[in-house]
């Protein structure tokens, strides 16, 4: 299979983890006979420095032509004081909108070997396996730009949703639930927000088309609590943009680190963008200690969702599991008696496992 992948390293550890993604894809192409070509483009603060904008038009054009896009992370203190339209984060929001990536899938599954890496009790974390389906191109993030009034002392952010935007993400969530344990938790703030009332109405209408899926509505504040007191009650969670952003960082605690969460940003058809849930981590950028596994598992999601390469996706995930089982971990994972490694070593270990698995298979098939 031949595929053209646009790489958007972005800023901070984004650059470091994208290098890991490339290594893993090189191993996959060797082992499974695929040809992946890479087209590196600028986004975020790096693009501001080079092109004066966080989202150059050539980046958008390249992404539109690509078979899939991999993104590292954007942002950093260097660009924090820029006006809103020049902030690195605007580049990320812009590319999501330009590509129509309304569905953000954030799977959260604790690895058994990392149970004790979570600050939560093992018996609480054990068995947690959930998917947050986050609406990605609406809500507060894309409200009317707020202007300061009253001598700079008043601002407005708007939270707007059209029915069709809610319908398509709710459909995506029901479809995802069908492929899993068939339970959907719709998260909103319907006791306060008009947008949440419409959200709940749509979920109630849609559920008749998915009679095999059980549905519950839970308010977002309660979900924040339940996620870390009884996470195994969740299968698929569907929610609006901002709630999904906050809840997914919180849910990362179940896995031991934010550096363990991959994500896929999709639309109904066409290309997807794959990125770790974490940011550019300015506190550790350039030190070579970032955890590359969220990015590597995002590669697995790309192989599965954009290229339908299920076997290859499983191989990547199994390689990650094997490395963790052998006790290797980066500094973000607080593990006693493990073997501490940096970004490059962790990447090499995953690549080695991928290669050795394939070597064993070819010996067996002789």
Q: Which parts of 310-349 interact with ligand NAD (CB under 6 A)?
A: 332
- Binding at 188: pick from ligand NAD, Mn ion, ligand IPM, none (beta carbon under 5-8 Å per type): none
Question: Does 119 show up as a binding residue in the annotation?
Answer: no
Residue 240 sits in the site that holds Mn ion (CB under 5 A)? no
- Cα(255)–Cα(268) distance, rounded to whole angstroms? 29
**Contact range with ligand NAD by CB under 6 A, out of 192-200, 225-233, 265-273, 276-284:** 276-284
281 versus 333: smaller Cβ distance to ligand IPM: 281
Minimum CB–partner distance for residue 14 and ligand NAD (Å) = 7
Q: What is the DSSP letter of 342?
A: -
- To ligand IPM, the closest distance from the beta carbon of 354 in angstroms equals 27
Going along the chain, which residue ranges are E strands? Answer: 2-10, 35-40, 68-73, 103-109, 129-135, 183-188, 214-219, 236-239, 262-266, 273-276, 328-329, 339-340
Which residues participate in catalysis according to the annotation? 141, 189, 221, 245, 249
Using the rule CB under 6 A, is 299 a contact of ligand NAD?
A: no
Q: How far is the CB of 42 from ligand NAD (least distance, A)?
A: 14
Separation between Cα atoms, residue 93 and residue 136, nearest integer Å: 9
Long-range contact pairs involving 187-190 (C-beta distance under 8 Å, separation at least 24): 187/217, 187/218, 187/219, 187/220, 187/223, 187/237, 187/238, 187/239, 187/243, 187/247, 188/217, 188/219, 188/220, 188/239, 188/240, 188/243, 189/219, 189/220, 189/221, 189/243, 190/217, 190/219
Least Å distance between CB 274 and ligand NAD?
Answer: 11
Query: Which residue in 56, 32, 31, 33 sits closest to 43, CA to CA?
Result: 56
275 binding ligand NAD? (CB under 6 A) = yes
To 10 degrees, the CA torsion angle through 282, 285, 290, 293? Answer: 70
Site map 221..250 versus ligand NAD, x via CB under 6 A: ------------------------------
Q: How far apart are CA 95 and CA 8, in angstroms?
A: 11
DSSP assignment, residue 171? H
DSSP class of 234: -
Binding residues for ligand IPM, rule: CB under 6 A, are 75, 89, 92-93, 245, 277, 279
What is the Cβ-side half-sphere exposure of residue 110, based on CA atoms within 13 angstroms?
27
Q: Is 314 annotated as a binding-site member?
A: no
Report if residue 290 touches ligand NAD, rule: CB under 6 A. yes
Q: CA–CA separation, 59 vs 43, rounded Å?
A: 7
Is 151 assigned to a binding site? no
**112 labelled as ligand-binding?**
no
279 is in an annotated binding site: yes
Shortest reach from residue 92's CB to Mn ion, in Å: 10
Nearer to ligand NAD, 8 or 190 (CB): 8
276 is in an annotated binding site: no
157 in Cβ contact with 140 (< 8 Å) = yes
Draw the binding track, 28-67, toward ligand NAD (x: CB under 6 A; -: no contact).
----------------------------------------
Name the binding residues.
Answer: 76-89, 96, 106, 134, 221, 245, 249, 279-291
- Site residues (vs ligand NAD, CB under 6 A): 13, 73-76, 89, 92, 258-259, 275, 278-284, 290-291, 294, 332
- Site residues (vs Mn ion, CB under 5 A): 245
């Amino acid at each position: 299979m031949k595929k053209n992948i646009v790489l958007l390293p972005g800023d901070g550890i984004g650059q470091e983890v994208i290098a890991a993604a490339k290594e893993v894809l090189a191993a996959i192409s060797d082992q499974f006979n695929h040809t992946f070509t890479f087209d590196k483009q600028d986004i975020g603060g790096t693009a501001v420095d080079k092109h004066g904008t966080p989202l150059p038009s050539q980046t958008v054009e390249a992404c539109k032509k690509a078979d899939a896009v991999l993104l590292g992370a954007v942002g950093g203190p260097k660009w924090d004081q820029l006006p809103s339209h020049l902030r690195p984060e605007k580049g990320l929001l812009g590319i999501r909108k330009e590509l129509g990536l309304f569905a953000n899938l954030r799977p959260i599954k604790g690895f058994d070997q990392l149970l004790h890496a979570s600050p939560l009790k093992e018996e609480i974390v054990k068995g947690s396996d959930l998917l947050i389906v986050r609406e990605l191109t609406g809500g507060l993030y894309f409200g009317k730009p707020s202007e300061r009034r009253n001598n700079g002392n008043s601002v407005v952010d708007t939270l707007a949703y059209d029915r069709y935007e809610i319908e398509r993400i709710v459909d995506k969530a029901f479809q995802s639930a069908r492929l899993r344990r068939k339970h959907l938790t719709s998260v909103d703030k319907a006791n306060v927000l008009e947008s949440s009332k419409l959200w709940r109405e749509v979920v109630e209408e849609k559920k008749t088309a998915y009679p095999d899926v059980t549905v519950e509505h839970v308010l977002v504040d309660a979900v924040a609590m339940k996620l870390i007191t009884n996470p195994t009650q969740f299968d698929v969670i569907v929610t609006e943009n901002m709630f999904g952003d906050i809840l997914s960082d919180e849910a990362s605690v179940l896995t031991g680190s934010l550096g363990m969460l991959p994500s896929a940003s999709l639309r109904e058809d066409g290309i997807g963008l794959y990125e770790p849930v974490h940011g550019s981590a300015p506190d550790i950028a350039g030190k070579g200690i970032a955890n590359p596994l969220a990015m590597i598992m995002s590669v697995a999601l790309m192989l599965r969702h954009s290229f339908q390469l299920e076997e290859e996706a499983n191989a990547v995930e199994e390689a990650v599991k094997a490395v963790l089982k052998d006790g290797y971990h980066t500094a973000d994972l607080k593990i006693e008696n493990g073997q501490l490694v940096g970004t490059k070593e962790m990447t090499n270990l995953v690549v080695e496992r991928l290669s050795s698995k394939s070597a064993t298979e070819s010996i067996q098939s002789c």
